Structure formats: structure tokens, C-alpha cells
Amino acid sequence: MAPRGYHVARGLRPWGRVQTGDQLVARPRFVDEIATLVHASRAGGLTSLCTGLGRSYGDSALNQGQTVIDMSRLDRVLAFDAVNGVLRAEAGLGLSDVITRIVPHGWFLPTTPGTRFVTLGGAVANDVHGKNHGRAGTFGASVRRIGLWRSDRGEVEISPDLTPELFCATVGGLGLTGAILWVEIQLARIGSSRLDVETIPFGNLDQFLQIALESEAGHEHTVAWVDCSSRGPGFGRGVFTRANWRDDGPLTVHTDRRRLTLPVDLPGFALNGLSLAALNALIHARQTTRPRREICHYAQAFYPLDAIGAWNRLYGPRGFFQFQCVTPLGAGMQPVADLLAAISAVGQGSFLVVLKTFGERASPGLLSFPRRGVTLAIDVANRGERTLALLSRLDRIVMAAGGRLYPAKDGRMPPAMFRAGYPELPRFIGQIDPAFSSSFWRRMCHD
């Protein structure tokens, strides 16, 4: 029997659609319901987890067989200082709604991930990063205060100055330090809703790194697409994109109307080695023949996939894993070359392969993913044991280079790799709320 306020939700799946399970879900309308819901869960011997808009790829936002509090209806703006650019809002407010409210006043999010369909609470819990890590750092770097409810002390206000240890555990803490009720952030001033964007083709990974490092001083936003199917002379080729906000221009907002939505899963055989190689070659040809300089709206520059509804269906009914790693800059591009070679050899790559550098700015969270280095993100369709064997091989390459994986994107990271990649883990464990857990955390604790 479900605790009061919850209903049974069967077969819930994260964005990667590999894991599945039954959970007990509640959808409160007001923050003062959180305490009652968590206490009811705990009285039944269950743990709780707060979730947002469902864009975590793996099991970090699942609590299989336990209770989940869907925060998406807790989406009120509590205060907005349009002069100084300070916003306080409930944790369930989506970034898309934040942006439409602040852009007309000449403000934008200091850091934004590749989708705007993320809640404020989720952005904090995963300490998301964007294309401007070298300038702005992670999302947590712009957070001034957090309203946090804990089962052992009730509602507390935390900040980097007043409660540094709990703050650093909550930022990037995967929702395990309690329920994030509201978030206050310092916004970034913009003069226009458009950016000057430049695209530069590169022929190999060394050229990528040279362009990336040269671009850090003069360009705020940098990212590259890389062809993971290419071999021989074309190995490591791709297109580098760098951009800056325009100084003046219109402050027009986006629309969440999608141009295309995938109504059904693609057949599992649609993305195979041959089709991926052809698709990557087509993307490369299109990118290298498009204008080198153009003016783009922020929706096009930051969120191209948001124009396609349910794009995760591209990988078929068995879903996909996203593998995102960061390796130290001192290791150069050899780890990335080894990763791409391993992927290309088995023909299990993707057309969505992102390569970029992280800057020097330290992440505030104990479990924050970014660090100075090179990060590679790739989607890999789930082909069962064959895919898991490939991912294990990629793990070994990353570990040998002294790198780590991103928990928010993970669905099968070995616990030993998690411990090796996050040396502040013992400090974090001391800040976990005993009433909260997740499928990811239980998997990490079982070795």
C-alpha cells in the first residue's frame, strides 16, 4: 500500500530509456507538503528522492521501489531584481521559463546545459555546465543561496559563506542532501538575445585542442562536434564553434513549440555502423559548407536538440547510454584519440558527439563533474552485452588517464570508478540526508 499522498507509477524510465522500474510518486503543489511526504515515506521504511523534468540520462533520478517527489509543480518565482539580476524561484521552475522571464530585462543564465528543459533544482543537484565553463564555471558558481529541507533539521537556508560544507555537498549532490525547495542565482547581463557565431573545421584532434586553447581568451562559448566514425586521414575531424553575445540588438525570447516530434521509436537496426558513418559524413559536409560566421538566436546556439521532441527515441526501444568523461589537460588528446578509436572500431558511435575543454575555475560541489581538461560526450545505442563491453573498455581508458565520468549522465559506472574519480566522496557522505537515496546511490554503495 502506497504511503498517503503517493501513487504507484510503473515502468518509469530516465531520458536514456535503459533502466526501468516501479516507483511511488507524489506531485505536491506547495513546498510545505514536502515534510509530510518524506515523513510518510520514512514511516513506511522507504527513502525519498526529489526529481524534476526527467532529463537525467541514467538512474541518478530514479528511486526504484521507493518514493519520488516530482517537484515540477513547485515552479513559482519568489523574487526577481531586474536591476541587479538576482532571481529567487522554487526548485521546480524550468530553465525555459526562467529564460523567458529574464531575457526581456537584459539578463540570461550565467551557465546553461544543452537543454532548457531542466529545473533549477536539477541544475543545482547535478551542477550542470555549459559551453562557457572557462568564463562562468558551473551552474553552482552563480548560486547565492539555497532553501533546503532536511529530515533531521527541517528547512535551512544554505550559502557558500554561512554553511560551506552543506552547500558544497548540495551543489552537484544528486539530490541526496535533502529536498531543494528554492534557489537564488546571480544572472548574467546581455545586450541582445543573439550571438555572433563562428564555425571552424578541423582535421584532427591536435588541431581541435589548438583552436580550443586559442579561443579561450576571446570567446565565451566554445564547443566542437567530432566525427566518431572517421578513420584513416579523416580520423578526429570535426567542426569547432565559438561564440560571443552581441553587444546590442533585440531581446526576443524563444518558443517551446517543436518543429518535429518523434511519435514512435526508430527500429533498433536503424542506427548501425554503416548508417552512422554515412550520417556523420553528411553532417561533416554540411557543417564545412555552411557560413563561417553568422548571427544566431540563443535558442539555436545553445539548444538545437530542444527543437525535436522526444529525440531520445532515435536510439530505438532499448534506449541508449550517454558516456561523458573528462580527462586532464596534461594528458593531451591521446585519451580522446583512444576513446574514438575504440568506438569507431566496433561501429557503435553516434552522430551526437560533443568535444570541448573545461577551464581553470574550480567547481563548487564536492561531486561536481567539471575539472580543467578535455571532455567528450557520446550517445551509444543499447545493444546489450556488446555495448556494455565497449563502455567498460572506455572506462579503462579514462581511468588510465586519471579522468572521471559524469554521474548525471551515467547508467552503469562501476562503483570503484566512481570512488576513484571523486576523492571528496568521504566528505560528501557525511552530509547525506538519511531519508534520501536513489537507484544510482544504492548501485554505487554496492560493490
pLDDT digits (tens, 9 = 90+) for 65-82: 999 999 999 999 999 999
Q: How far apart, in whole angstroms, are the C-alpha atoms of residue 345 and residue 409?
A: 23
pLDDT of residue 316: 86
pLDDT of residue 274: 43
Cα dist from 190 to 8, 143, 252, 281, 304, whole Å: 45, 18, 12, 36, 20
What pTM did the predictor assign? 0.93
pLDDT digits (tens, 9 = 90+) for 389-410: 999 999 999 999 999 999 999 9
Domain limits, CATH 3.30.465.10, in the chain: 77-190
How many residues in total does the chain contain? 447
Q: How far apart, in whole angstroms, are the C-alpha atoms of residue 397 and residue 388?
A: 14
Contacts of 233 (CB under 8 A, 6+ apart): none
User: Maximum Cα–Cα distance for the chain, whole Å?
Assistant: 63
pLDDT of residue 269: 44
Per-residue pLDDT of the chain (447 residues; tens, 9 = 90+): 788 899 999 988 998 999 988 999 999 999 999 999 999 999 999 999 999 999 999 999 999 999 999 999 999 999 999 999 999 999 999 999 999 999 999 999 999 999 999 999 999 999 999 999 999 999 999 999 999 999 999 999 999 999 999 999 999 999 999 999 999 999 999 999 999 999 999 999 999 999 999 999 999 999 999 988 777 888 999 999 999 999 999 999 999 876 666 554 545 444 445 444 544 444 545 566 565 999 999 999 999 888 888 888 888 899 999 999 999 999 999 999 999 999 988 877 676 799 999 999 999 999 999 999 999 999 999 999 999 999 999 999 999 999 999 999 999 999 999 999 999 999 999 999 999 999 999 999 865
- The 10 Å CB-count burial string (b at 16+, else e) for 277-311 is bebbeebbeebeeeeeeeebbbbbbbbeebbebeb
- Of 4, 50, 11, the closest CA to residue 31 belongs to 50
Domain limits, CATH 3.30.70.2520, in the chain: 194-410
Q: How far apart, in whole angstroms, are the C-alpha atoms of residue 110 and residue 91?
A: 17
3-state DSSP call for residue 124?
helix
For domain 194-410, give the CATH number: 3.30.70.2520
CA 195 to centroid of chain Cα atoms: 22
DSSP E strands, 82-187 = 86-90, 107-108, 143-150, 154-158, 179-186
CATH class of 77-190: alpha beta
Cell numbers at residue 216, please? 579561450
Q: What is the CA radius of gyration of the chain?
A: 21
pLDDT of residue 351: 65
Residues 397 and 335 sit within 8 Å (Cβ to Cβ): yes
pLDDT of residue 266: 45
3-state DSSP call for residue 98?
helix
